[in-house]
Amino acid sequence: MKNRKTDLAGMWLCAGILSALTFLMVKVEMGKGYEVLLYSDFATHSSWAVGEFTDPLYDKFYAYPVWHLLVRGINWILPIGREYAGALVTACCIGGAAALLYKFLWLELKGCLSERKICLLAVGLMVLTALYMPWFNVEPYLGQTSPTTWHNPTNMAVKPVALLAFLWFLKLYLREQKVKAVEFAGLSGLLLFSCFVKPSFVQGFLPAVVLFLLVELYRTKGKSFLFSLKMAAVFIPSGIYFLVTFFSMFGVSAERSIGISPFEVLKLDAAHPLISILQTIAFPLFVLCILGGRQIWQDKSLLFSLAFYAASLLEYILLIEVTEPESGNFEWALQLALFTLFAMTALRFYQKKDKKPWMDLAGNGLLLYHVLSGILYYVYLLISPLQC
């Protein structure tokens, strides 16, 4: 009973901290003035949410209206204006992601870390960002990307859905012989719902699942084929919806188009693209190095998080929206993949019992550097006229 109360207390504490941080940030973002507001993600999304749905300026939002409808509903029930309604909905989404992350970490680490440390770890993973090295990149976010974003409402809204789908898939795969049809159906429904929140998650998640299952087919010598077939069926609803949405936005008759141009989008903000990638994944890379190739190959959960990251990174590096390259719309899936990669590598780092003292020092130091960089990024946004 005591453990149960501690579990709930930590979960509510993490959710409360992240909800408060998010509410404050969104409110500040939406109050920075007309020129910044005009081009900010929260301004455009919330304008459609509380305005007229027929405005052609926001026609792409028809494909993923969940955040907008929630903001509209809150503002209708409590006529508090789009700033407070947008901040409240986004705060609940990020608070939900923090609660889910804490619950996952607590179940996996309660024998390795104290409840206080698990809570600190969960909060840290929700705010961390790329290592801030101004001698390489002046801006904390631009050029490096980040597992933590504060300027896009739909990507923030899909974060708890993405984490839940990620963990759900792993749970099914690890129990592949004992999975009921209703569990596959549940994941299928969740993936379809995620498309209505932000299609970018499925954009990175589906290729990652395909890549991972192909590797598993090779490793199991075909024994995982039946599970792979069932998982293919799981993605049919979300896959169809994603393709319909994709071709409506980037089809032959659409004004927007996609091309292949390696590193072009990354180079818009990063003076040193490869260094920027290393800044972003310094802690996960360190953990992978101390675990070694054999353990990574045998660790299905960690291997899948790597597949999710690799698939999303390749999309970000290779693809470009020709008519609007500076938008960086292929970066959203990468940010969600980075979030799950940090969570899984942090989990494995603290579960590893045979670490040498220098490994503990280096790993904790790198993770702390990521967290402090994230705190700096948060404060920077509060005082900067910029939105990201």
Q: What is the pLDDT of residues 277-336, one digit of tens each?
A: 999 999 999 999 999 999 999 999 999 999 999 999 999 999 888 777 767 788 999 999
Place of tokens 């009921």: 180
Rounded CA separation 171/209 (Å): 13
C-alpha atoms less than 13 angstroms from C-alpha of 196 in its C-beta half-sphere = 10
For residue 100 the two structure tokens come to 């889910």
pLDDT in tens, 130-181: 999 999 888 888 888 999 999 999 999 999 999 999 999 999 998 877 888 8
Most confident of 37-51, 82-96, 266-280: 82-96
Q: Which amino acid is at 79?
A: P
52: left (phi over 0), alpha (psi -120 to 50) or beta: beta
Rounded CA separation 380/371 (Å): 14
Torsion of CA 113, 114, 120, 126, to 10 degrees: 50
Contact 165, 187 (CB under 8 A): yes
Where do the structural domains in the chain lie, given as residue ranges? 2-383
Q: Would the CA dihedral through 43, 49, 54, 59 be positive or negative?
A: positive
* pLDDT classification of 253: cutoffs 50, 70, 90: low
Q: Which residues contact 4 (CB under 8 A, 6 or more apart)?
A: none
Contact 330, 197 (CB under 8 A): no
pLDDT in tens, 343-383: 999 999 999 998 899 999 999 999 999 999 999 999 999 98
